[in-house]
Amino acid sequence: MIKNINVALIGNPNTGKTSVFNALTGLNQKVGNYPGITVEKKQGSCRLDRVTKARILDLPGTYSLNASSMDESVVVELLLNKNDPDFPDVAVVVTDVENLKRNLLLFTQIKDLEIPTVLVINMSDQMQRKGIKIDIEKLEEKLNTSVVLVSTRLNSGVEKLKQILIDYRSISTLPILDSTTIDQDYFENLAKAFPNQSLYKLWLVITQDVNFTKLERQKVPDTTQFKTQPQSYLKKLQQRETIKRYQTINKILKETYSVNREEATDLRSKLDNLLIHKFWGYVIFFLILLTIFQAIFDWSSVPMDFIDSSFAHMSEWIKTQMPAGILTDLIAEGVISGLGGIVIFIPQIAFLFFFISILEETGYMSRVVFLMDRGLRKFGLSGKSVVPLISGTACAIPAVMATRNIENWKERLITILVVPFTTCSARLPVYMILISLVIPNDRLLGINYQGLTLMGLYLIGFLMAIVSASILNRLLKSPNKSYFVVEMPNYKLPLFKNVAITVWEKTRTFVVEAGKIILAISILLWFMASFGPGEKFSNAEQIVTQQYANEAINGLELENKIASFKLENSYIGILGKTIEPLILPLGYDWKIGIALISSFAAREVFVGTLATIYSVESDAEETIKIRMAGEIRNDGSRLFNLPAGISLMLFYAFAMQCMSTLAIVKKETNSWKWPSIQLFSMTVIAYLSALMAYQILK
């Protein structure tokens, strides 16, 4: 019989907790949110031995159990609630070998909750280079727990950690700090009021205002005194607790931990001086972005062309192998064409997440956050706004969630409202197909025009976010100011396994989530394009045949004209023709209008929609790119020319990303007021920008 145990991975930010999580779980991971709140929940599983399976929960990074943010509150509430299904049988506190003193504050707090707690000292491969020596046996004795030196880069220590987790019941749960030493009278009275309870857990319940923990309480006079103490007095006791803990930690490390600074290198300070320089820092960041976008175009062209042609052949093969009918048309023209419109962009999405993961793994992303903070404050954004703005390049939804770390209401609201301007990965498929159609694949001084255009779209979105933030900063009033603190992690070579898992998980999530929406919309669009009301649709063949009776056209041309006539008079054609007068000044026809409406469900649906429409209209074995390139206007000019292409790209750069983003903004602001303002203003900006671009360029 398999025995299941819950293991919680806990630690300060930038201690390599994710690396340990990846080493334990590999690809057996899934990401969601904690019930009722928008904080990411990452969990995985691993087999410890033949009879023991561990469910690993990677908790948000926290510096202590004195929570000051939503992420930290998640950790505290889980560790205080034994009724929670995620409550750990054993806690693994991951620490950084260079910052052991600071990391041990959190470790001592968790151990004092009387939970079996293992100390993992990560990045042990850095010890010799940094001149660090640790007496592990003595450290285990002083902390009264198991200590494991781990290097995920060298894949050492992970098996030992698994063995300790199997035998977690043998780990001592005796506390390290005697809580009564914080304030003897207060804690003795607390012990009398709540006998047979963990004293430190009681203290956290009081200071963190956690009310769900079930406590058997003995009736004593004035039982409300503990929570009704002045807040300043409780804060004073918290500070005293921190001092007591560090005194204990200092004594322990004095006997077990030593650093020879002469053996350590000074490379980090030299790199920091360059990468966060007031001038060169921005130049380097610009060059890195340029390189990334060049690579996205150059590296992905071959797999993209292969995927594009494969789906076109697959659609044609289905039509030849299956009997003619509605089901065959649905599969070939609806499902396959729709999915082909998103699968084609897997290479670009994978490369984008590949580069972002490398920047995070090396520690460079934290330098970018610090660098950008200097310029953001004058526009009403907090330095902490940089994190949502940068993470918005992946998806706006978690980016909006990330604003919960911003304490100031005004700065948080401004960040929420402007985050959708940053280019998310869902816009990438739209940009890629349009750029390949209207921007020449030429180079100037080795720089590809298409890659340069893509980088320009990312920068223009970020610039619009800054401009909008500046306007909102003047409109919204708030007397409070916030301060920005960011930790600079050590530089390190990216771990291939971490990068690979990140690319796999992010790409898979993107494809699966987008695929659900695209499949549903593709089927709906196929139905609307394949059926229509009235005589024109039902008698399309007869009407078109009579119309071209006196003209010499072959059978294939006649079939295409019949298909086009039926499409125009189908349900989707009628809808498109209705909105065409509104979008015609932007350079779009009714088919693009349908794609604009359907892509509000998810931006990447734009390409899938056109793939479905064009597939229904024509039976020719053509790829979506060739079909779009061949579309012509009534005057004989290309539909997707430079003015229309630029107009479309600007519209997607500034329009509200999707309905899911609106929903999360409503949830975070607890009002429909702000998402409504956001939707209206971004739509107006997008429409006017697209209108001016087309009218000027045409």
**Is 49's pLDDT higher than 90?**
no
Domain range annotation of the chain: 1-265, 280-475, 509-697
- CA–CA separation, 357 and 359 (whole Å): 5
Give me the helices (H) in 344-385, please.
346-362, 364-376
Sign of the four-CA dihedral 648, 442, 339, 41? negative
Query: Which residue bears the tokens 């065959």?
Result: 328
Pairing assessment for the beta strands 117-122 and 147-149 based on DSSP bridges: parallel
**Is 359's pLDDT higher than 60?**
yes
Mapped onto helix, strand or coil, the DSSP state of residue 491 is: coil
Count of CA atoms in the C-beta half-sphere (13 A) of 511: 17
* Residue 166 near residue 297 (C-beta atoms within 8 A): no
Q: What is the pLDDT of residues 195-219, one digit of tens each?
A: 777 888 888 888 775 444 444 444 4
- CA–CA separation, 447 and 437 (whole Å): 18
- CA–CA separation, 46 and 313 (whole Å): 41
Q: What is the pLDDT of residues 524-536, one digit of tens each?
A: 777 877 788 878 8
Mapped onto helix, strand or coil, the DSSP state of residue 124 is: helix
Which tokens in the block code for residue 692?
Answer: 């001016």
- CA–CA separation, 564 and 559 (whole Å): 9
Sign of the four-CA dihedral 138, 143, 146, 147? negative
pLDDT of residue 560: 67
**Is 228's pLDDT higher than 60?**
no
**Is 174's pLDDT higher than 80?**
yes
pTM above 0.85, yes or no: no
Q: What is the pLDDT of residues 83-118, one digit of tens each?
A: 888 899 999 999 988 888 999 999 999 999 999 999
Per-residue CA distances from 352 to 284, 313, 333, 517, 586 (Å): 18, 28, 30, 22, 30
When mean pLDDT is compared across 212-216, 330-334, 537-541, the lowest value belongs to: 212-216
- CA–CA separation, 62 and 208 (whole Å): 14
The model's confidence at residue 365, banded by pLDDT at 50, 70 and 90, is confident
Write out the H or E segment, with its range, that includes residue 680: helix 673-697
**Is 77's pLDDT higher than 50?**
yes
Mapped onto helix, strand or coil, the DSSP state of residue 161 is: helix
Q: What is the pLDDT of residues 381-412, one digit of tens each?
A: 766 777 678 767 767 776 776 676 676 778 88
When mean pLDDT is compared across 64-73, 443-452, 467-476, 534-543, the lowest value belongs to: 64-73
Number of helices (H) and strands (E), helices first, in the chain? Answer: 31, 11
Pick 610 or 262 by higher pLDDT: 610
What per-residue string of b and e applies to 137-154 under the rule 16 or more CB within 10 Å gives b? eebeebbebbbbbbbbbe
Domain 1-265 architecture: 3-Layer(aba) Sandwich (3.40)
Displacement of CA 204 from its chain's centroid (Å)? 31
pLDDT of residue 309: 78
Count CB neighbours of 408 within 10 A.
17
Count CB neighbours of 371 within 10 A.
18
3-state SS of 129-178 is HHCEEECHHHHHHHHCCCEEECECCCCECHHHHHHHHHCHHHCCCCCCCC
3-state SS of 550-603 is CCCCCHHHHHHHHHHHHHHCCHHHHHHHHHHHHHHHHCCCHHHHHHHHHCCCCC
Which tokens in the block code for residue 357?
Answer: 């993961």
pLDDT of residue 29: 67
- CA–CA separation, 187 and 199 (whole Å): 8
**Is 437's pLDDT higher than 60?**
yes
Pick 152 or 653 by higher pLDDT: 653
Query: Which residue bears the tokens 């505290």?
Result: 76
Residue 299: phi and psi, rounded to 5, are -75, -30
Displacement of CA 479 from its chain's centroid (Å)? 32
When mean pLDDT is compared across 52-66, 127-141, 282-296, 368-382, the lowest value belongs to: 368-382
When mean pLDDT is compared across 53-62, 233-242, 594-603, the lowest value belongs to: 594-603
The model's confidence at residue 221, banded by pLDDT at 50, 70 and 90, is very low
Displacement of CA 638 from its chain's centroid (Å)? 37
pLDDT of residue 372: 76
* Residue 107 near residue 93 (C-beta atoms within 8 A): yes
Per-residue CA distances from 74 to 34, 35, 59, 186, 316 (Å): 8, 11, 8, 27, 52
Beta bridge partners of 95: 121
Q: What is the pLDDT of residues 237-280, one digit of tens each?
A: 888 889 999 999 999 999 998 887 654 455 677 788 888 888 88
